Amino acid sequence: MARATASAATAPSRLNEYYELCKPRVVMLIVFTAVVGMFLAVPGLPPLSALLWGTLGIALQASSAAAVNQIIDRNIDARMARTCGRPLVTGTLSMTESIAFATLLGLGGFALLWVLVNPLTAVLTQLTLIGYAGVYTLYLKRATPQNIVIGGAAGAAPPVLGWVAVTGEVHAHALILFAIIFIWTPPHFWALAIERRDEYAKVDIPMLPVTHGIDYTRTQVLLYTILLTAVTVLPFATAMSGLIYLLGALALDAVFLYYAICLKWWPRPGLPMRTFGFSIVYLMGIFSLLLLDHYLWPLLAA
């Protein structure tokens, strides 16, 4: 009786541990950018089957990538305050359970994309998984302060994956979506890394604030944010999006630039984490505007 009660009590919490192994909040935003890529790929609505199975397949593979990242990084995660509560560190999930779970999600996602979407999406998504879990986590993260710039390509791929899921091909407009996330990644991450500099130094991970100092990193955040402003004009400049997108994007750019300028010239406690927090709102906002504009602007401009 006591045994039955105990296992009933632990079952939901174990489910929660598997959920946490997938970095759910990051994966949700990643999947959102992929879904926006699917909607932007065609003038009307994308086919339901590509939308449904494409989203599920990309979500499964992104979750698998996040789990592999935690399997590889468990010793580093154990020594940083931000990550020491993760399931593989606390021991609530074993290595065997985590590897089995990551393999199941990865293979399941790949098979689903290959069979129900198209082989190109399956292959590109698999390469993205390898890029993040293999190339970034295993090698780049420990090797160079440019780790997140190069590794950012994996995080930037999902809108392209979504586009390919619907059309079967890579279009120049999909590459603009890639460029937006690619250039957004450095200010997103380095804002957090400024705050967490000492933790990364303690575990010998060569993040930019550790190797080049905090002030240099602030300059890089500002330069990438300026570049990001230019890149976010591209959807309008190439007639992919209309004025609703442009005006909204410029407003978001202005706020992000304000954060980056304050971080560089008027730094104060708490500002790096507020900049990091805003970077997430910003990317959600840019992709929401792209989606909104795709359906509303043709009606208004007609």
Ligand X SMILES: CC(C)=CCC/C(C)=C/CC/C(C)=C/COP(=O)(O)OP(=O)(O)O
Return all residues near 8 (Cβ < 8 A) that are at least 6 apart: none
Torsion of CA 33, 37, 39, 41, to 10 degrees: 170
Choices 34-42, 53-61, 103-111, 187-195 (CB under 6 A): range interacting with ligand HEM? 187-195
User: Judged by CB under 6 A, does residue 83 bind ligand X?
Assistant: yes
Indicate the residue among 155 and 272 with the shorter CB distance to ligand X. Answer: 155
Residues of span 157-186 touching ligand X by CB under 6 A = 158
Residues of span 109-128 touching ligand X by CB under 6 A = 125, 128
User: Judged by CB under 6 A, does residue 210 bind ligand HEM?
Assistant: no
**How far apart are CB 247 and ligand X at their closest, in Å?**
29
Taken in order 282, 240, 232, 188, is the CA torsion positive or negative? positive
User: Judged by CB under 6 A, does residue 82 bind ligand HEM?
Assistant: yes
User: Judged by CB under 6 A, does residue 151 bind ligand HEM?
Assistant: yes
**Any long-range contacts for 52-56 (C-beta under 8 Å, 24+ apart)?**
53/112, 53/113, 53/116, 53/117, 53/165, 54/113, 54/117, 54/121, 54/161, 54/162, 54/165, 54/166, 55/31, 55/162, 56/109, 56/112
Indicate the residue among 203 and 242 with the shorter CB distance to ligand HEM. Answer: 203
Q: What angle do CA 150, 139, 137 make, to 5 degrees?
A: 80
Indicate the residue among 58 and 166 with the shorter CB distance to ligand X. Answer: 58
User: Judged by CB under 6 A, does residue 105 bind ligand X?
Assistant: no
The length of the chain in residues reads 302
Q: How many whole angstroms from its chain centre is CA 225?
A: 17
The tokens for 8 are 């009933």
Among 36, 50, 51, 129, binds ligand X (CB under 6 A): 129
Angle between helices 172-195 and 214-231 (to 10 degrees): 160
Among 14, 18, 26, 56, binds ligand HEM (CB under 6 A): 26
Indicate the residue among 65 and 286 with the shorter CB distance to ligand X. Answer: 65
Indicate the residue among 122 and 183 with the shorter CB distance to ligand HEM. Answer: 183
Indicate the residue among 26 and 262 with the shorter CB distance to ligand X. Answer: 26
55, 38 contact by CB (below 8 A): yes
User: Judged by CB under 6 A, does residue 280 bind ligand HEM?
Assistant: yes
Q: Where does this chain bind ligand HEM (CB under 6 A)? A: 25-26, 29-30, 33, 82, 148, 151-152, 155, 181, 185, 188-189, 192, 280, 283
Q: Where does this chain bind ligand X (CB under 6 A)? A: 23, 26, 30, 58, 61-62, 65-66, 69, 73, 83, 125, 128-129, 132, 137, 141, 154-155, 158
